[in-house]
Amino acid sequence: MALMIIDTCTACDACEPVCPNEAITAGETIYVIDPMKCTECVGAEDEPQCKLVCPEVCIVENPDWEETPEELQEKFEALQG
């Protein structure tokens, strides 16, 4: 399942540099996660790095983007190319 950033984001910029897939970018008011690039760090790390560094706990699972760990691994491998 891809992750998403909710409205409590303070745009602190902690999450963007730790994303191994460059899935996080600055939006108009908060940061956003591209679900096509988000693998929850499967393939790169043991857990989502953005969630580890987020001081506001505003990164949650995206209910509209369900994926298995196997699908996340395949997506990671495809993104790495």
The domain segmentation of the chain, as residue ranges, is: 3-80
pLDDT recorded at residue 67: 95
Q: What tens digit of pLDDT does each residue of 19-40 get?
A: 999 999 999 999 999 999 999 9
pTM of the model as a whole: 0.93
Fold annotation for 3-80: Alpha-Beta Plaits (3.30.70)
* Mean pLDDT, residues 10-15 taken together: 96
pLDDT recorded at residue 1: 85
Q: Is the pLDDT of residue 81 over 90?
A: no
* Mean pLDDT, residues 51-55 taken together: 97
pLDDT recorded at residue 6: 98
Per-residue 3-state assignment (H helix, E strand, C coil) for 4-71: EECCCCCCCCCCHHHCCCCCEEECCCCEEECCCCCCCCCCCCCCCHHHHHCCCCCEEECCCCCCCHHH
Our measurement of the distance from residue 81's CA atom to the centroid of its chain's CA atoms, rounded to an integer in Å, reads: 19
**41 dihedral zone (left: phi>0; alpha: psi -120 to 50; beta):** left
